[in-house]
Amino acid sequence: MTTTITICDTCKREDWAKRGMAQTDGEALAALIEAAAKGVNGVKIRRHSCLMGCGKGCNLAIQAPGKLTYVMGDFDADQDSATGVVEYARLHSESESGQVPFKQWPQAVKGHFVSRLPVLGPEGE
Ligand code: FES
């Protein structure tokens, strides 16, 4: 089953203005994640403007129908983060429940989990 990475494309790190970037950090991270996910089976990317975790950007969510959802934040827009997020999403796609054993977590996602949400059933329970 396909796992979707939803990346906030309006996130800005604290020093964003000082760095004079033309794009937001979220746009930069989204582009890196999109490139890293090319050719990776079971992983889809979408962008969304503001996941309401603005003080802890860059933020993203990892989701698939019928599986645990993971919200992550505090990422820099760099290659290590992008590669780690895509690898975690790939492992999420291969997992029946969405849970990925800690020993398989890429180093780049450690310390970036904000929350884990249980599956919502068809009746909202
Ligand atoms: S701007 Fe990214 S969470 Fe609000």
List ligand 1's pocket residues with C-beta within 6 A: 8, 10-11, 26, 50-54, 57, 59
**What CATH number belongs to 3-117?**
3.40.30
pTM, two decimals, is: 0.96
CB-based contact 70:53 (threshold 8 Å) = no
pLDDT computed for residue 1 by the predictor: 87
**From the CA of 63, how far away is ligand 1's center (Å)?**
18
Question: pLDDT per residue over 56-87, tens digit each?
Answer: 999 999 999 999 999 999 999 999 999 999 99
In testing the pocket of ligand 1, which one of 59, 71, 74, 75 has its CB within 8 Å of the most ligand atoms?
59
Q: What pLDDT sits at residue 72?
A: 98
Tell me how far the alpha carbon of residue 15 lies from the centroid of ligand 1, in angstroms: 15
Q: Please give the number of the atom of ligand 1 that sits closest to the Cα of 10.
A: 1
